[in-house]
Amino acid sequence: MELIVKSGERVERVEISRDGARYRLRLGEREVEVDVRALGPFVRSLLVDGEHHEAAVLRARDGRYRIGWAGRTTEVEVVDPLTHLAEQAHGGALRHGRQSVAAYMPGRVVSIAVEVGQAVEPGQALVVLEAMKMQNEIQADRAGRISAVHVVAGQAVEGGDPLLEIE
């Protein structure tokens, strides 16, 4: 299977083959072997080329996933190659508009780094969410302006709850 994975401005073509819980991924010229085990509804244990990692993964919406990894959180979009080509043909117009940023898993809002009306750039810190005793920084995956903030510091959230919106 071949997919396009986008995170901010970065775009990767990924080829995936699967054998049980083990995956072989090719990213450009790099090939890695990944063994995946579920530790809970959102948390995965990953053995990547023999090195252990844990990641929290929550489906955000159509083809988008929130991934917490090594104390950082990012949103990735997974699309098929034909959809990616269509987006390129339209000059990226399909990625504009309002984007809701949601909690990737249950937790507590530690801090909010932005306010309504503020311009943000890809990779800029938006919210720090504490989940499973780890603080994770949720970052903007695209440039825009904060149009709404739905949470306050100290607030408990569930996976999928909206945190803020970017236009």
Give tens-digit pLDDT for 45-96. 999 888 999 999 888 777 788 898 888 888 888 887 766 665 665 444 445 5
Domain with 148, as residue range(s), is 2-166
Is the Cβ–Cβ distance between 25 and 31 less than 8 Å?
A: yes
| DSSP-H helix ranges across the chain | 81-89
Query: pLDDT (tens digit, 9 = 90+) per residue, 90-118?
Result: 444 445 577 888 887 788 999 999 999 99
Cα 29 to its chain centre, rounded Å, is: 23
Is the Cβ–Cβ distance between 75 and 144 less than 8 Å?
A: no
Q: What is the dihedral of CA 60, 76, 13, 21, to 10 degrees?
A: -60
Q: How many domains are contained in the chain?
A: 1
d(CA 32, CA 159): 29
CATH of the domain at 62: 2.40.50.100
